[in-house]
Amino acid sequence: MACGNTRRITQARHGRAESVTPAAELLEADRLRAGRSPEELTELYGRHCQGMSARDAYMRRVLWRALAKSCGAGLEVGPGALFRDIATFEIGDHVFIGPQCYIQGRHDGRCRIGNHAWLGPQSFLDARDLVIGEYVGWGPGARVLGCQHTGSPVGVPIICTDLDTRPVCIEAEADIGTGAVVLPGVTVGRGAIVGAGAVVSRDVAPYAIVAGVPARFLRWRSGHAPDPECSR
């Protein structure tokens, strides 16, 4: 049986969405934050983390809002989404946290997620020092690493050596492909595209398209005319 060959173009939904968080949801988050400890709220989250009901989805939203440093309107949190040190998270408006996404913060770090960011299912974000701009698309299973062991001195197990944490910035409107890996210290420029499965070990210029292991420059996005030196 032959596969269909009809191409379809459909309108994007998430990036165009506008919604207001109901007042009751805001009040519930404030009530829980004032009346329970972060440990109690995290335990309560565990009861609703995997659930598929409307009540579970509601409680996931409420509890992320109650636990995070700040959280805008229109948050969506999929089943199985997990966090560490969520008190450092600054989440913008209309952010989607996909099913089984894991965001690992650090108590003295920063994690900023801009308006209309979409974080795909099964993503892993090392958010010790991470900034994700507005309208960023983060493909399913894509990962970002914010630190690595120094490996020094030799003779000490690598896992016992100090951690070298470097900031990662994904600028506004960039798109990170399915299964891609962004390494510590990298900046992905505004509107850039990182191909599926790429390993990004150095900065990506704005509006560039990169792919491969390691990721290499392929071309500029259509309609962009940069300085020729930027692609070298």
| pTM confidence score | 0.89
Residue 4 lies inside a defined structural domain of this protein: no
Residue 38 lies inside a defined structural domain of this protein: yes
Q: Are strands 168-170 and 82-84 parallel, antiparallel or unpaired?
A: unpaired
* Boundary-marking domain end, from 33, 51, 67: 67
Residue 16 lies inside a defined structural domain of this protein: no
Q: Helical H runs in the chain? A: 23-35, 38-48, 54-67
Q: What residue numbers bound the domain in which 63 lies?
A: 22-67
Between CA 173 and CA 204 the distance in angstroms is 13
Please indicate, yes or no, whether residues 29 and 87 belong to a single structural domain of this protein: no
Residue 6 lies inside a defined structural domain of this protein: no
Please indicate, yes or no, whether residues 93 and 183 belong to a single structural domain of this protein: yes
Between CA 73 and CA 155 the distance in angstroms is 51
209 bridge partner residues: 193, 219
Distance of CA 19 to the CA centre of its chain: 20
Please indicate, yes or no, whether residues 78 and 63 belong to a single structural domain of this protein: no
Environment class of 108 (CB within 10 Å of its CB; exposed 0-12, middle 13-18, buried 19+): exposed
Q: What is the pLDDT along the chain (232 residues), one digit of tens a residue?
A: 566 677 777 777 777 777 778 899 999 999 999 999 999 999 999 999 999 999 999 999 999 999 999 999 999 999 999 999 999 999 999 999 999 999 999 999 999 999 999 999 999 999 999 999 999 999 999 999 999 898 999 999 999 999 989 999 999 999 999 999 999 999 999 999 999 999 999 999 999 999 999 999 999 998 877 766 655 4
